[in-house]
Amino acid sequence: MLKTFAKGGVHPPENKFSADRPIEVLPLPAKVSIPVSQHIGAPATIVVAKGDKVKVGQLIAQSAGFVSANIHSSVSGTVESVDPVLDSSGYKRQAVTIVVEGDEWEPTIDRSPELKRTIDADAQTIIKKIAEAGIVGLGGATFPSHVKLSVPTGKKADVLIINGVECEPYLTSDHRLMLEKGHELMVGIQLLMRALGVDKAMIGIENNKPDAIKYLSDISKDYQGISVHALKVKYPQGGEKQLIKALINREVPSGGLPIDIGAVVHNVGTAFAVYEAVQKNKPLFERVVTVTGKNLAKPSNFLVRIGTPVTDLIAAAGGLPDDTAKVVNGGPMMGKAVTDISVPVTKGTSGIIVFPANESRRKADSVCIRCAKCVTACPMGLEPYLLIRMSQRMMFDKMEHERVLDCMECGSCSFECPANLPLLDYIRLGKSEVNKIIRARKN
Amino acid sequence: MNSIIITAVLVLSLLGVALAIVLYLVAQKFKVIEDPRIDLVEAVLPGANCGGCGYPGCRGFAEAFVKTDDIGSMFCPVGGNDTMAKAAEVLGQTAEAKDPMIAVVRCSGSPEQRKRLVEYDGASSCKLATALYGGDTGCQYGCLGLGDCVAVCKFDAIYIDPVTLLPVIDEEKCTACGACVKACPKFIIELRKKGPKGKRIFVSCINKDKGGPARKACQVACIGCGKCVKVCPHDAITLENNLAYIDYNKCKLCRKCVEECPTGAILEINFPPRKQKVEGQAENVENN
């Protein structure tokens, strides 16, 4: 019997069209727009000006605080402007736009393809390098990785969990990365283990990727302390609390963090980026992005420079199909429709999904009949039908008592609701209002 | 048989009397003495319980009103000066008359002037839409037209115009309670001085983008050119973040800025038609 998490969960159709497409390097774009707010936390402070020449890997925006991340240029060329640009948030936000000229890398970056297995950095150096490289959680949450690795005093991690679940339908970027960069990934995991001071790492992979499970299980024998675990397919197993429950059967307390129960979770993409940053001196300026869709000519996995317009990715995957009505940045469950397909790829862009018109619209909503399907589906044990009522009636103080902040916005409730109610929309509103109440209370 | 009835009646009567005495004594012991003026003040208030004054309902306002040292600091926007005069009379004071206010919608981006680029089919709520994206046009500051302000108005003073898709405020019904100002997630609605005979001038735009992008997104956007600031003889206009703002306390309603504005972002309301009709601006007046 395969392991999985206990509470809730749904089974959306998988639609992983690009699973057997190897990662291709996307040709350099003509121009990139790199937003300075690609992570959770304070936006980075821009350190270049219009007209400056930059190289690949050069720092263009400095981390502004502990919870923030450095941003590096993903191309070489001239800074065209430092102005707000529309990004996938649907708002114009500060960004550095660079016109691409050639492909000149910072000389400090080791571009050789050889695997560098020997680790000579100590924990502090590793964390420092990760912070300098601007690495954030590449699963989509974009939380700065060095913060997760800096374990607060009094707490101790005993296991590192590596998230290779990729439970979102359509997406295959992590799957391909595990198949093609297995050894680099393993070294990355060992670096993370050293940074945390743990001697055990567990990779969780859902059972719909048997090739990745087999390959990583085989090579993990060469790396001490790393084990691979197959998990039953269930969304949202990639949520860190769900993954911890599935793998080590511990539960993160409400309002707490995984470190409270001795676990730290990192995505496979993050582990690979850590390998490149520490062993190869390469900052995070490119990532693997799945470009997919039912009617797309060539669903693909691309290695993309951060800041590349989504238009370029879609063109490389065979162009935008005629009946396209919606383009989603991220997975179909948690991703967000973009308002313009020229928005740039950011560190958190795990996929671009092109939806045809007949799958783009929301279905007409009706009334709640209290069937409690949302309650059954919620992996956090919340009561979405109740939360939407409270949110609609602006009873935000009550929502706080109902633990609305535990919601991770996985969308399982909206997915299951037979009345098609906008449950998640209202819960999200409630979360932001509750956060306002909490901030006001602190001040 | 009779004796049973008599006994029952007697016992119950005695019980009743005894409990009445207990209740009376308790009521005397825990008597709450309330200022009788609270009731009098509450009686003259409109009773809308809208919260526009900042207190929880009219009773809350009345309670605070009889206690305050400075009645000038309190104001019932719904009742206005008449109500405040009556309420002050109850306390034996006189209330200073305040200029009546009205809510204004600082966006003129109808579909004609502001092209719709994307389609939103989520729940009809501006708050929810704001959490998802900047808006269905190129302007992320402008009105979404989903009617959070209409839903919150207790006086039926706002409706969404079916042609411009913008909220329209009914001057007769608006009490300046400020509920719509708080409800708008884009901060488009502002309370401004109603002005003599309802005449008022304001910048009907809150786009803080630079001129180029602003104009590209919407033809009637404020592009921050600063012409109005230069032409204003009363120093009433300030320019900040590419956006002009008219201070209604300084504005003398000379209308020079309206003529000067190259995009027609400044609106004049309730003015008689000009002798020399300038194209474009007359339309704007009607739109509002």
- Which positions in chain A touch B133 (Cβ < 8 Å)? 89-91, 337, 339
Across the interface, do A340 and B117 touch by the CB < 8 Å criterion? yes
Search chain B and give the residue with CA nearest A393: B152
**For residue B201, what are the β-bridge partners?**
B268
Shortest Cα–Cα distance, B121 to chain A (Å):
7
A227 C-beta neighbours (distance < 10 Å), count? 15
Q: Which of A83, A362, A428 sits opposite B131 (nearest CB)?
A: A428
- What's residue B288's pLDDT? 43
Q: What is the ipTM of this complex?
A: 0.84
One-character DSSP codes across B48-68: ----TTSSSHHHHHHHHHHH-
B152: which 2 tokens? 């919150």
pLDDT at B276: 61
- Tens-binned pLDDT, residue by residue, of chain B (288 aa): 688 999 999 999 999 999 999 999 999 999 888 888 999 999 999 988 888 888 989 999 999 999 888 888 888 988 888 899 999 998 888 888 888 889 999 999 999 999 988 889 888 899 999 988 888 888 999 999 999 999 999 899 999 999 999 999 999 999 888 999 999 999 999 999 988 888 999 999 999 998 988 999 999 999 999 999 999 999 999 999 999 999 999 999 999 999 999 999 999 998 888 776 555 544 444 444
Q: What is the pLDDT of residues A144-173, one digit of tens each?
A: 999 999 988 889 999 999 999 999 999 999
**A and B: number of Cβ contacts within 8 A:** 46
B243, B261 Cβ separation under 8 angstroms: no
First-residue to last-residue Cα distance in chain B: 84
Residue A252 CA from chain centroid, whole number = 20
Whether A235 has a pLDDT exceeding 60, the answer reads: yes
Q: Which of B117, B127, B134 sits opposite A91 (nearest CB)?
A: B134
Residue A29 is given by DSSP the state P
C-beta atoms of B128 and A91 within 8 A:
no
- Structural domains of chain A in order of their starting residue, each with its CATH number: 23-109+283-358 (3.10.20.600), 123-279 (3.40.50.11540), 373-442 (no CATH)
B123 vs chain A: nearest CA distance in angstroms? Answer: 7
The alpha-helical segments, DSSP class H, found in A345-394 are 373-377, 384-392
Cis peptide before A152 (omega within 30 of 0): no
Q: Which two tokens stand for residue A218?
A: 């085989």
User: Taking CB atoms and an 8 Å limit, are A84 and B209 in contact across chains?
Assistant: yes
Distance from the B66 Cα atom to the nearest Cα atom in chain A, whole angstroms: 30
Separation CA B62–CA B85 (nearest Å)? 14
Q: Are strands A159-163 and A201-206 parallel, antiparallel or unpaired?
A: parallel
Please indicate whether, in this complex, the C-beta atoms of B140 and A91 are within 8 angstroms of each other.
yes
| pLDDT tens track for A24-53 | 999 999 999 999 999 999 999 999 999 999
* Residue A98 and residue A77 in contact, taking contact as beta carbons nearer than 8 Å: yes
Token readout for A119 is 């680790």
Q: B183 contacts in A (CB within 8 Å)?
A: none
What does the pLDDT look like over A67-118, one tens digit per residue? 999 999 999 999 999 999 999 888 999 999 999 999 999 999 999 989 999 9
Q: Which of B213, B210, B228 is nearest to B265 (CA)?
A: B228
Q: Which of A309, A283, A304 is nearest to A99 (CA)?
A: A309
Widest Cα–Cα separation across chain B? 103
Give the whole-angstrom CA distance, residue A356 versus residue A358: 6
**Cβ-based neighbour number of residue A99 at 10 Å:** 13
Mutate to test the interface with B, among A82, A339, A367, A436 (most CBs of B within 10 A): A339
CA distance A51 to chain B (A): 20
β-strand pairing of A351-356 with A324-329: antiparallel
Specify the pLDDT at position A74: 95
Supply the pTM of this predicted model. Answer: 0.86
Q: What's the average model confidence in pLDDT over A340-345?
A: 94
B187 Cβ contact partners less than 8 Å away, ≥ 6 residues apart: B181, B206
The pLDDT value recorded for residue B278 is 52
Q: What is the largest CA-CA distance in chain A?
A: 63
Across all residues in chain B, what is the average pLDDT?
89
